[in-house]
Amino acid sequence: MTAFAFLTAGAGALVAAVSALALGFGSLAEPGPGFFPCVVGLVLAAAGARTGVSTLRRTAGAPGAPPLGRSGVRRVLFMLASFVVWLLLLPAAGYVPGTFVVAIAMSRTVGLEGWIRPLLLSAALTVALYLLFDVFLYVDLPRGILG
């Protein structure tokens, strides 16, 4: 886990540097094409570094972490499959319905109980991401059946 966290931090830093230098950062008033990838890369680098350092501190005197187990492996595989399904759904269903459905599946996968909480979380996530990308950042999202 520690090596993956630091690898993620390095990849995030690389994405931030390349996008800022090659694509152009722009400014907050007029973001360039490298603005969003740079910010995401910086967040990824910070999260990876924080996770790596935290893991090093926690495991310094502790025995090895327990194996993931069958249910953990199934959860990870289901999350990966959900991402693939989401990517396949986007052109046909559109961003809003595709994101809503896959967010429900993912929230159930991570253990959110009942149906009200996953539905509310998925609706809030879908609306927030739609507002962020379509309204504030002017990114054309796939319209699918809503287009």
User: Furthest-apart CA pair in the chain: how many Å?
Assistant: 56
| 93 and 132 part of one domain | yes
Residues 11-54 have pLDDT tens digits of: 889 988 888 888 887 877 888 888 888 888 899 999 989 988 88
Cβ-count burial 4-27 (b if 16+ within 10 Å, e if not): ebbebbeebbebbeebbeeeebee
Q: Can you tell me the mean pLDDT for 106-122?
A: 92
Residue 67 is predicted with a pLDDT of 67
| 46 and 101 part of one domain | no
Task: State the total domains in the chain.
Answer: 2
| 83 and 42 part of one domain | no
Percentage, residues of the chain above pLDDT 70: 91
Within 13 A of 67's CA, how many CA atoms are on the CB side? 4
Residue 60 is predicted with a pLDDT of 64
Residue 64 is predicted with a pLDDT of 60
CB 102 within 8 A of CB 86: yes
End-of-domain residue from the set 41, 66, 91: 66
In this prediction the pTM is: 0.58
Other CB atoms within 10 A of residue 55 CB = 17
| 51 and 15 part of one domain | yes
| 117 and 100 part of one domain | yes
Domain that holds residue 30: 1-66
| 47 and 78 part of one domain | no
CB 43 within 8 A of CB 12: yes
| 48 and 106 part of one domain | no
